Structure 1
Amino acid sequence: MTRSPAKLLLATLAAVSVSACTATTGDLGRPRPTVWSQLIAPETGFWSATARGEQSSYFRLTDDEEQMRDRAWRFVMPASPNSVFQGEVSNLAHTRILPVAAQSTDVGDYFHGLTSISFASQASRYNRLAEDANADRLLIGPFRANAARVVSMDRVRMRTVEASPDVPVDKQEPAYARVVENEGLVFWVCERLDFRLRSYRHALVNLVVEMPSREAVKAERAIMALEMEARPLCQMPLIGTFGEGGKRPVVYKG
């Protein structure tokens, strides 16, 4: 059996990522810093994104920009338990080596992962669902505050670019590209939050069909609370680099 070049590339990159950065985890659940994650992946991601025609800035990240990318990691990774391969795909998308379109959009992934794990009772599956939704909810606020600081500084950045004659031409395009990257990350997090919510709801209704339990009420409340917390983030005013009304990009731009 032969594989297409695209599939071979995907398998190779995933294998490199698995071997290079997933043995241990650091803060926020991310892989610990390695030569791959700190040097090779960012450089490869920059050139991969550029080759796809996406906005890419060579500027160094500010502390807030770097922290925002760290906090985004939780939301852009798959929520599904045991999704090792999809986790690596998302990891490569986070570094921009792969486009966001490579991620799974199957809302059944989470349910399949949840039911593939051995639990003592059906209540444990509902509890896991509620715990995952609550963990997401608690991390949205810090990400939103982080994103608000980045957007505020991006406004200062663009006003300076437009008003100051001391900013050379070769710095103007990378400045704009960084703003696009930052806003694109917020959009991407919102898209994946929406995907998580739909995945959690899909899992809940199918759990109720297969193994009804009073624990479903707790899980449903956790999902509703997550939705309420996500709304302010995904409605926060941005600069609008993606057009009128901040239209969501098709692919991740940063």
Structure 2
Amino acid sequence: MTDSADATARRRPCGGKTAFAALLALLASACTATTGDLGRPRPTVWSQLLAPEAGFLAAAVRGEAASPFRLTDDEEQMRDRAWRFVMPASPHSIFQGEVSNLAHTRILPVAAQSNDVSDYFHGLTSTSFASQSSRYNRMSEDVNADRLLIGPFRANAMRVVSMDRVRMRTVESSPDVAPEKQDPALARVVENEGLVFWVCERLDFRLRSYRYALANLVVEMPSREAIRAERAIMALEAEAGPLCRMPLNDAFGEGTKRPVVYKG
């Protein structure tokens, strides 16, 4: 082998790594650079075809329920409405936003999300505001925006739960349903209930994050605006209660730990 050929051979692994890194960057940009309303990805080949398929396979490999059935209109809408709650409360948590994005598509498990209640406070205080009142006002606006979206999500979830009852009764009683459709049907019910549980978990996390932020703001920058923020948090908690206590179909089994799994 000549010196030039030997040098070329030694360079090939590096070129392969570079190409692989470029591919990862391309996939990441496809996921992050097309943000639409409420932080949801705009319809692209990645968000509509590649990410859901990759998420389906990843969830199946992890042993989570994964149904190949098409989503109903209500199931699709419920997943869209859940987006606000499963994303980070602070818009400045860019990295955690991408982690939540990948968890929403099921490429990553939901356990990959941050559970640090200080994230929102750090995002709130890292931005320049005209006055201390502006930070309290921003928190109140964020909390109230969450509260106003819970009702529509709950109504949507109730429709899905109701149709899941019909789904399972039909699977169990109709001789016209092939046996091989039973497992995918149950998997879809588990996915739907898992989404409700996940939203409730993240709502609880948001409440704890807002309270942490409020307490630390009062210590650093006391203001009468804290009263309005506290009332907003209390109203959010009151609105979240009925959602997280609504009767479901007990797809995970009574008395068992309810894992958060669903198909995005």
TM-score (norm 2): 0.88
Per the alignment, residue 171 of structure 2 pairs with 161
Give distance in 1, aligned partners of 2:139 and 2:166.
41
C-alpha spacing 1:85/1:175, structure 2 compared with 1 (3 Å):
same
Cα distance in structure 2, aligned partners of 1:205 and 1:87: 24
Q: Over residues 52-92 of structure 1, what are the superposed CA-to-partner deviations in whole Å (9 max), with x where a residue is unaligned?
A: 00000000000000000000010000002311100000000
Could you tell which deviates more after superposition, 107-116 or 23-32? 23-32
Q: Secondary structure of 1:231's partner? A: helix
| Partner Cα separation in structure 2 for residue 32 and residue 104 of structure 1 | 24
- The higher radius of gyration belongs to 2
Q: Give, in whole Å, the separation in 1 of the partners of 2:236 and 2:24.
A: 31
Determine the C-alpha separation between the residues in 1 that align with 2:141 and 2:220: 20
Give the equivalent residue in structure 1 for 2:30: 20
Instruction: Answer yes or no: is the 8 Å Cα contact 1:64–1:150 preserved in 2.
Output: yes
Alignment of 1:73-92 (within 5 A): 73-92=83-102
Q: Which residue of 1 aligns with 2:261?
A: 252
Deviation at 1:26, TM superposition (A): 2.9
Q: Give CA-to-partner distance per residue, 1:206-250, whole Å, 9 cap, x none.
A: 00000000000010011001000000000000000122168532x
| Deviation at residue 30 of structure 1 after TM alignment | 1.4
Identical residues among aligned pairs (%): 82
User: Aligned partners of 1:168 and 1:242: how far apart in 2?
Assistant: 23
Aligned CA RMSD, in angstroms, stands at: 1.8
**Partner Cα separation in structure 2 for residue 111 and residue 66 of structure 1:** 32
Aligned pair partner of 2:148 in 132, 138, 149: 138
Q: 1:12 to 1:93 in 2, by over 3 A?
A: farther
Q: Structure 1 residues 127, 54: CA separation in 2 closer, same or farther (over 3 Å shift)? A: same
The residue that corresponds to 2:61 in the other structure is 51
* 8 A Cα contact 1:144 1:233, kept in partner: yes
Instruction: Tell me how far 1:29 sits from its aligned partner.
Output: 3.5
Distance 1:13 1:60 in 2: 29
Q: 1:32 deviation in Å?
A: 1.0
Instruction: Identify which of 210, 225, 239 aligns with 1:229.
Output: 239
Q: Secondary structure of 2:47's partner?
A: helix
Relative distance call for 1:131 and 1:179 in structure 2 (3 A) is: same
Conservation of the 8 A alpha-carbon contact between 2:190 and 2:261: no
Instruction: Extract unaligned runs of 5+ from structure 1.
Output: 1-10
Whether 2:196 is the aligned partner of 1:190: answer no
- Taking the aligned partners of 1:33 and 1:57, their CA distance within structure 2 comes to 22
**What's 1:210 paired with?**
220
Q: Match of 2:218, as an amino acid?
A: V
Whether 2:253 is the aligned partner of 1:219: answer no
Deviation at 1:190, TM superposition (A): 0.2
Number of equivalenced pairs: 243
Report what 1:199 is aligned to. 209
Any conservation in 1 of the 2:65–2:261 contact (CA below 8 Å)?
A: no
The 1:44/1:163 distance shift into structure 2, 3 A limit, reads: same
So what's the TM-score if we normalise by structure 1? 0.91
Gaps of 5+ in 2: 1-20
Which amino acid counterpart does residue 252 of structure 1 have in structure 2?
A: V
